[in-house]
Amino acid sequence: MQITLGELASKLGLSLIGDADQVVCGLNTLKDAEAGEVSFLANSSYQSQLAGSKASAVIVAADLAEQVASNVLVSANPYLSFAQASQLFNNRPEAPAGIHPSAVVADTAEIAAGVSVAANAVIGEYCKVGSGSEIGAGVVICDHSIIGNDCQINPNVTLYHNVVLGDRVTVHSGTVIGADGFGFAPDQGRWQKICQLGGVRIGSGVEIGSNVSIDRGALGDTIIEDDVIIDNLVQIAHNVRIGKGSALAGCAGVAGSTSIGKHCTIAGGVGIAGHLEIADGVHIAAMTLISKSISDKGAYASGTAQMPMNEWRRSATRFRQLDSMAKRLQQLEKSQKR
Amino acid sequence: MQITLGELASKLGLSLIGDADQVVCGLNTLKDAEAGEVSFLANSSYQSQLAGSKASAVIVAADLAEQVASNVLVSANPYLSFAQASQLFNNRPEAPAGIHPSAVVADTAEIAAGVSVAANAVIGEYCKVGSGSEIGAGVVICDHSIIGNDCQINPNVTLYHNVVLGDRVTVHSGTVIGADGFGFAPDQGRWQKICQLGGVRIGSGVEIGSNVSIDRGALGDTIIEDDVIIDNLVQIAHNVRIGKGSALAGCAGVAGSTSIGKHCTIAGGVGIAGHLEIADGVHIAAMTLISKSISDKGAYASGTAQMPMNEWRRSATRFRQLDSMAKRLQQLEKSQKR
Amino acid sequence: MQITLGELASKLGLSLIGDADQVVCGLNTLKDAEAGEVSFLANSSYQSQLAGSKASAVIVAADLAEQVASNVLVSANPYLSFAQASQLFNNRPEAPAGIHPSAVVADTAEIAAGVSVAANAVIGEYCKVGSGSEIGAGVVICDHSIIGNDCQINPNVTLYHNVVLGDRVTVHSGTVIGADGFGFAPDQGRWQKICQLGGVRIGSGVEIGSNVSIDRGALGDTIIEDDVIIDNLVQIAHNVRIGKGSALAGCAGVAGSTSIGKHCTIAGGVGIAGHLEIADGVHIAAMTLISKSISDKGAYASGTAQMPMNEWRRSATRFRQLDSMAKRLQQLEKSQKR
């Protein structure tokens, strides 16, 4: 991929200060960029790297244009412009159209023209795959599941039956959508299985990382709304609903029947208990446990901060005594007043 | 699936108050049920939904029968009756019997009559699969592993060699049973691998969620006893033993050689350190860290509860000062006594 | 596998006190060993089991040799000798050399002589697999990825494109290497994808557990240095670097662009935030959250310790009041001074 700065500025809708004929061939960080590469500054903590960068052009906000030694691409939102540039320089190998002879596709499945179905993929009865979608090697899609247009289902993904994906959905490898929710009734020391009769509905523009588990509903569906992004190793239990535009980082887990609002950000390792309602615009800090519903937008946290081990031990020991400490404090206050 | 309420009551062993000839075709929540569907009330917090439900019948305890507008199925344990009803209305597509031509089954493997082996499954030398079991698409079962009767091994599961499953075991997709335990001896800044010579033994009636990792033993086996249920993304290290009837929720992790008793419940995100003994009947709250053995049944927790971020910051800062606070409190008490 | 104690002592470089002609056929714990098996004592808490063990030989330190009832293999480092012995007694079924007819290998891929490619594996264009390596059943390796010599890629692993593994790398089942990092620019309530243009480079002598996710870099590579060991269900985000000889236990997660030093140990369930620098020789306790860089070697922790639930509730309630408690304590101290 080679492009002149003039063309690049035009495609990204940016104004160029410098040589429109300079050819560039890739993106890189300010620190690692070589001549012929484009870089960007979106985080002021890297501002000191502007002067020394070898990049042939830098995407920056207007007020920093003067500090760039080479060509400048002026952007009102450099991070967004960088994202758009990354899509131009995308180097992902293209999947060949057509169904690989080793794939096993049921006669009743409807595969749109131009779909790529890779080696050893398995597509069940009455499934549908929309145009422009890619089904990776070793993917298994069980009966009655539907994939929209322009989806990218990476190798070794598993979709159970009655899973519905909208358009432009990306699912990374190892992810499982539609396995049974964890529903059992206790029965004299054993567990009676509650068959999970619902499905999973995923909106459009959703991206799901690798090794994610999204369970089917017990009654009714588990629902991921449009434009949700989910990182790796995330657990989404049965009948959860994730609102439009929300983001869940790696290793987060959401228990059954909890509803998360729109435009929430759930940081890595967060755990959210079941049957809760989380309002729109809630931000939860890393490794927080949420065990009560949240009705007000804003940021929330739990836990304690890192400490050297020997200091931590002392604080942890005192944590066990906290109630006694609080009562003794009250006692002192009382006797002082007398 | 269509059934009269008379038949349904008979199959579930419940007494019917109402129209035995009413035909029903599914289950749903009180809130979402339409005419022709059956609902249930197992949690008193939904009691207010009884009056307005459109369900054609509701499974309830005897003392609430009068509050149901439609037909009533009286149960001593409505949640258990609902679980049994869900099994009657199970809508999971049935797997066709026989070995799919694309499956690769070793000549020395013994596959019972009527077993379903789906497309692109791979079954190794000297494996056995018992009658009534289903092996999903893309499943890999390595040499010398044994699957009992009526097991359901979902697509893209991996069983290493020498893994033994009892009867009626369900394993969901992406799960890996029998990978090497994490055993290494430090050797001058490098790690010398301890080959994991044991296997995995799983009892009967066990259900294992998706993307679970259960490692083989280093010496001797990792053991999951009968009737254990394990949710998604759970880590079970080498030589762990999980006692009969215990339940582990999503994202829990158990380190090597720890033994968990019978009828324990381990909530989501819990971590249990290695070489511990957890008694029978222990219940551990979500995201708790267990670093010492537990000899008494009961409930245990660690961590702190959710707070708005700015309040949390103040508490977290004070946590670092706790030991100093405790000492200053003692000092005040001492000087008061003087 | 049968071997005389004389041969075993010679292969492990240990001195034998006892019968050099005694034949042994396996390893076991002191407690479970039968006649014909070898055991070891590496942890003094098991010393009381020495006397009663039925093992035909025990690997011990010189000062404990007298306490062994049977034959003795004297070692300066019994745990390391045990690891070496486990490699001699390795019982993992050997993979047959050659490419299974059901595997799909691109014409442009270079597979060294003697490599084993199992059933239904898929190897993409321009990939290379070095001599002595095993590619398990159902493995998918995408275009332009390179596997060194003597690697073991277990069933149902997925490697995306441009993933490079050194020599002697073991990857366990369900693990995904090279999926897209979690990079998105917010854009009016939606997320604009940042295409992940980098790759993944993994050194030699690395072992990676099951269901691990290691993302490709956004710009530049995600890097795992030589001799790193990674347990199951670990999340390694884009552009992370893990230093030589470090170990990450199960369910740990490392966010984007964080660099971990050499010879660190990261315990189970630890979360490390993004863009941090962790020094060499840092040890982090189980389930700790690291949200700031660590410049000094040593041990670190966060969180609180396990408590019975009713006691925990009281401490957790007081944690919310900690800032107020601290201020009231200061008040009392002030009034005392007056």
Determine what percent of chain A is predicted with pLDDT higher than 90.
97
Same domain as A182, residue A130:
yes
Please state, rounded to an integer, the average pLDDT across all residues of chain A: 97
> A44 pLDDT exceeds 90?
no
Which residues from A are below 8 Å from C140, CB to CB?
136-138, 155-156, 173
Do A196 and A328 reside in the same domain of the chain?
A: no
Structure confidence at residue B45 as a pLDDT band (50, 70, 90): confident
Burial class (CB in 10 A: 0-12, 13-18, 19+), C281: middle
How would residue A1 be classed by pLDDT, with cut points 50, 70 and 90? confident
Whether residue C180 lies inside any domain: the answer is yes
What is the DSSP pairing of strand C98-99 with strand B213-215? unpaired
In a domain, B112, yes or no: yes
In this structure, the number of other CB atoms found within 10 A of the CB of residue C324 comes to 15
Nearest to A30 by CA among A18, A19, A42: A42
C317 domain residue, yes or no: no
- Ordered strands of the B222-224 beta sheet: B110-111, B128-129, B146-147, B163-165, B200-202, B222-224, B241-242, B259-260, B277-278
Contact A301 B303 (CB under 8 A): no
Q: Over the stretch B95-110, which tens digit does the pLDDT of each residue have?
A: 999 999 999 999 999 9
d(CA C141, CA C131): 16
Instruction: Looking at the structure, tell me whether residues A272 and A123 fall in a common domain.
Output: yes
Give the number of C-alpha atoms closer than 13 A to the C-alpha of residue B329, restricted to the C-beta side.
24
Catalytic site residue from C238, C263, C275, C283: C238
Average pLDDT over residues B277-302: 98
Q: Is B63 on the interface with A (CB under 8 A)?
A: no
Classified as helix, coil or strand, C179 is: strand
The type of residue at C161 is H
Do B116 and B82 share a structural domain? no
Instruction: Give the pTM.
Output: 0.97
Task: Report pLDDT digits (tens) over B306-326.
Answer: 999 999 999 999 999 999 999
- Helices A322-337 + B322-337 axis angle, to 10: 40
Number of domains composing chain C = 2
Side-chain half-sphere CA neighbours of A217 within 13 A: 22
- The answer to whether the beta carbons of residues B112 and B65 sit under 8 Å apart is no
The reply to whether B129 and B176 lie within a common domain is yes
Smallest Cα–Cα separation from B172: which of B226, B214, B223?
Answer: B214
Asked if C173 lies within 8 A of B161 by C-beta distance, the reply is no
- Residue C337 within a domain: no
Q: Assess whether C76 and C224 both reside in one domain.
A: no
Measured CA to CA, the distance from residue A21 to residue A161 in angstroms comes to: 53
Same structural domain for residues A118 and A219? yes
Indicate the pLDDT class of residue C157, thresholds 50, 70 and 90.
very high
pLDDT over 80 (residue C338): no
On chain C, the residues whose CB falls within 8 A of the CB of A119 are: 104, 122
For the cut 90, the answer to whether the pLDDT of residue A231 exceeds it is yes
Asked whether residue C83 falls in the same domain as residue C202, the answer is no
Alpha-carbon distances of A333 from A266, A323, A324, B332, rounded to whole Å? 41, 16, 14, 11
Residue from the list B29, B156, B326 with its beta carbon closest to the beta carbon of A220: B29
In this structure, are A274 and A162 located in the same domain?
yes
ipTM: 0.97
Name the β-bridge partners of C254. Answer: C236, C272
Is residue B158 within 8 angstroms of chain C, CB to CB? yes
The first and second tokens of residue C227, run together, are 């001799």
User: Where is the domain boundary, C88, C120, C141?
Assistant: C88
Are A11 and A70 found together in one domain? Answer: yes
- Closest residue in chain B to residue C314, using alpha carbons only: B304
Q: Is A115 exposed, middle or buried (0-12, 13-18, 19+ CB in 10 A)?
A: buried
Q: Please list every residue in chain C whose beta carbon sits closer than 8 Å to the beta carbon of residue B268.
A: none
Please indicate if any CB of chain B lies within 8 Å of the CB of C136. yes
Among C50, C65, C88, the domain-final residue is C88
Selected for mutation to probe chain B from A315, A328, A331, A336 (highest B CB count within 10 Å) is A315
pLDDT tens for C45-98 read 899 999 999 999 999 999 999 999 899 999 999 999 999 999 999 999 999 999
The pLDDT, as a whole number, for residue B301 is 98
Looking at the predicted structure, is the pLDDT value of residue A155 above 90? yes
Residues 6+ apart with CB under 8 A from C45: none
Look at residue B337 and tell me whether its pLDDT is greater than 80: no
Amino acid identity at A142: C
Which residues lie below 8 Å from residue C78, measured CB to CB, with a gap of 6+? C40, C41, C42, C59, C60, C61
Helix intervals (H) in chain A: 5-12, 78-88, 309-320, 322-337
By CB neighbour count within 10 A (0-12 exposed, 13-18 middle, 19+ buried), where does A35 fall?
Answer: exposed
Does residue A132 come out as left (phi exceeding 0), alpha (psi in the -120 to 50 range) or beta? left
Q: Give me the DSSP letters along B258-298.
A: -EE-TT-EE-TT-EE-SS-EE-TTEEE-TT-EE-S-B-S-E
**Catalytic residue, candidates A100, A238, A263, A275:** A238
- A327 CB-near residues (< 8 Å, 6+ apart): none
Among residues A46, A64, A88, the one where a domain terminates is A88
Token representation of residue B173: 């997709």
CB contact under 8 A, A140 and B173: yes
pLDDT in tens, C216-239: 999 999 999 999 999 999 999 999
C263 part of the active site:
no
State percent of chain B over pLDDT 70.
Answer: 100
Are residues B292 and B264 part of one domain? Answer: yes
Residue B336: pLDDT band with limits 50, 70, 90: confident
Question: Amino acid identity, residue A149?
Answer: N
A305 interfacial to chain B (CB closer than 8 Å): yes
Q: Could you tell me the end-to-end alpha-carbon distance of chain C, in angstroms, rounded to an integer? A: 82
Give the phi and the psi of residue A236 in degrees, each rounded to 5.
Answer: -120, 110
Provide the pLDDT for residue A210.
Answer: 98
Q: Is B337 on the interface with A (CB under 8 A)?
A: no
Q: Which residues pair with A60 in a beta bridge?
A: A74
Q: What is the pLDDT of residue A100?
A: 98
Return d(Cα B66, Cα B81) in angstroms, integer.
Answer: 19
Whether residue A207 is contained in a domain is answered as: yes
Residue A93 lies in a domain: no
Is residue B305 one of the residues assigned to a domain?
A: no
A124 and A234 share one domain: yes
Domain, as residue range, for C135: 98-300
Tokens of B27: 């289950």
The CATH number of residue B37's host domain is: 3.40.1390.10
Q: Residue B331 has which token pair?
A: 């000092």
Q: CB–CB of C182 and A309 under 8 A? A: no
* A&C contacts, CB < 8 Å: 246
Residue B306 in any domain: the answer is no
pLDDT of residue B1: 85
